[in-house]
C-alpha cells in the first residue's frame, strides 16, 4: 500500500464535477494554431493555474501494476500552498497522509505502521526527488516544473503547443503539450532513456466551474523496462473554497517505517 500511496501522490489527480452549472471544454482544437512565443505560452499556462483557496474532493482510484490490480476510494483536501491531506479506504481505512512544504506524514491502520519526515519517502518510493510545489502542481494539473525558471522552446504539434526546456534536466527529458484554447495541459511526460524509464500523464476534457478549469479525467502510465504502473482517477464530488477540517494524528503503538 505504500507503493500505491506514493504513486498516487506524485502522478495524480483528476478533479471533476457533475454540477449542472459546469460544462465540458474539449481538449482538441480543429482550427489552425496561431504561432506564439514560448514566453506567451508560459504566461497563459501560468495564468490558468488554480487560484482558489481550498479543494475538498472524493475520488475513485484504480491502480494496476505487474502484481496488483486494485480500486479504492480517496478523500482529498488541499489548502493551496500549505497542506495536502489524503485518506484512502477500501472497506476500512488503508492510509492517511498529511503533506506540507516541510514534511510528509503518513500512517496505515491496515499495516499498523507510519512515516514522518522529509520528502525522502517519496524519493524512496518513486525513484526521484519531488518537493511540495512539484507535487501540488501535479495534483492541480499544472506543469511539474516551474516553466519560468528555465528558457523554454515551443513547437506546434498536431493540435497542441509542445513545450520543453531549451536545456533539458540531467536526469530526464520532460515535455508538455498545452491546449491552445484554455492553455491547460493535455499531457506531460518524462523520459530517461538510459534507465528505460517513461512517465506519461494524459488529461482528458476539462470542466469549468466558477471560472476555474480542472481535468475531467487523468490517465497515468509509468514504465521501467518490463515493469509498469497504470493509474486512473475520477472524482465523485468536489467543493471549492470551503472551510476544511483535516484531522491527523499518528496512533501510538505503530511501527515506524525506516528508509
Share of the chain above pLDDT 90, in %: 37
Give a yes or no: residue 259 inside a domain: no
Residue 5: the pLDDT is: 52
Give a yes or no: residue 257 inside a domain: no
What is the torsional sign of CA 209, 236, 219, 2? positive
Average pLDDT estimate for 12-20: 28
**DSSP calls for 45-102:** HHHTS--SSEEEEEEEEEEEESS-EEEEEEEEEEETTTEEEEEEEESEEEEEEEE-SS
Task: Please list, in sequence order, all residues whose beta carbon lies within 8 angstroms of the beta carbon of residue 255, skipping any fewer than 6 positions away.
Answer: 112, 113, 114
pLDDT bucket at 27, cuts 50 / 70 / 90: low
- Cell readout for 41 is 505560452
Give a yes or no: residue 56 inside a domain: yes
pLDDT of residue 4 exceeding 60: no
Length reported for the chain: 259
Task: Please list, in sequence order, all residues whose beta carbon lies within 8 angstroms of the beta carbon of residue 43, skipping any fewer than 6 positions away.
Answer: none
Give a yes or no: residue 256 inside a domain: no
Q: Which residue, chain included where needed, has cell 483535516?
A: 246
What is the torsional sign of CA 204, 206, 207, 213? positive
CA distances (Å), origin 247, targets 83, 87, 188: 12, 10, 33
Number of domain units in the chain = 1
Q: Name the pTM for this structure.
A: 0.80
Residue 11: the pLDDT is: 39
Give a yes or no: residue 35 inside a domain: yes
pLDDT bucket at 39, cuts 50 / 70 / 90: very high
Express each pLDDT in 56-100 by its tens digit.
Answer: 988 888 888 888 888 889 999 999 999 999 999 988 998 999 999
Residue 129: the pLDDT is: 67
Residue 92 domain boundaries: 2-251
CATH number at 228 reads 2.50.20.10
Residue 19: the pLDDT is: 29
Across-strand partners of 115?
106
Give a yes or no: residue 234 inside a domain: yes
Give a yes or no: residue 8 inside a domain: yes
Express each pLDDT in 188-227 by its tens digit.
Answer: 998 988 888 888 888 877 777 777 777 778 788 888 888 8
| HSE, side-chain direction, 13 A CA sphere, residue 11 | 31
The mean of the pLDDT values for the chain is 82
pLDDT of residue 47 exceeding 90: yes
Amino acid at each position: 500500500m505504500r507503493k500505491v500511496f506514493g504513486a498516487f501522490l506524485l502522478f495524480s489527480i483528476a478533479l471533476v464535477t457533475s454540477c449542472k452549472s459546469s460544462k465540458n471544454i474539449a481538449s482538441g482544437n480543429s482550427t489552425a494554431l496561431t504561432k506564439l512565443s514560448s514566453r506567451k505560452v508560459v504566461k497563459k499556462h501560468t495564468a490558468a493555474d488554480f487560484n482558489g483557496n481550498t479543494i475538498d474532493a472524493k475520488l475513485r482510484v484504480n491502480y494496476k501494476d505487474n502484481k496488483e490490480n486494485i480500486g479504492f476510494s480517496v478523500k482529498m483536501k488541499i489548502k493551496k500552498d500549505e497542506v495536502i491531506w489524503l485518506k484512502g479506504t477500501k472497506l476500512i481505512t488503508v492510509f492517511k497522509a498529511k503533506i506540507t512544504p516541510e514534511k510528509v506524514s503518513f500512517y496505515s491502520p491496515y499495516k499498523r505502521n507510519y512515516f514522518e519526515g522529509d520528502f525522502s519517502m517519496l524519493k524512496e518510493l518513486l525513484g526521484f526527488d519531488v518537493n511540495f510545489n512539484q507535487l501540488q502542481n501535479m495534483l492541480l494539473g499544472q506543469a511539474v516544473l516551474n516553466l519560468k525558471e528555465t528558457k523554454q522552446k515551443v513547437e506546434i504539434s498536431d493540435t497542441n503547443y509542445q513545450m520543453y526546456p531549451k536545456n533539458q534536466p540531467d536526469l530526464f527529458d520532460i515535455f508538455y503539450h498545452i491546449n491552445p484554447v484554455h492553455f491547460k495541459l493535455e499531457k506531460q511526460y518524462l523520459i530517461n532513456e538510459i534507465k528505460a524509464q517513461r512517465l506519461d500523464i494524459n488529461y482528458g476534457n476539462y470542466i469549468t466551474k466558477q471560472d476555474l478549469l480542472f481535468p475531467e479525467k487523468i490517465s497515468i502510465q509509468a514504465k521501467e523496462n518490463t515493469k509498469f504502473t497504470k493509474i486512473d482517477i475520477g472524482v465523485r464530488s468536489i467543493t471549492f473554497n470551503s472551510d476544511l477540517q483535516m484531522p491527523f494524528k499518528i496512533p501510538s503503538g505503530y511501527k515506524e517505517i525506516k528508509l
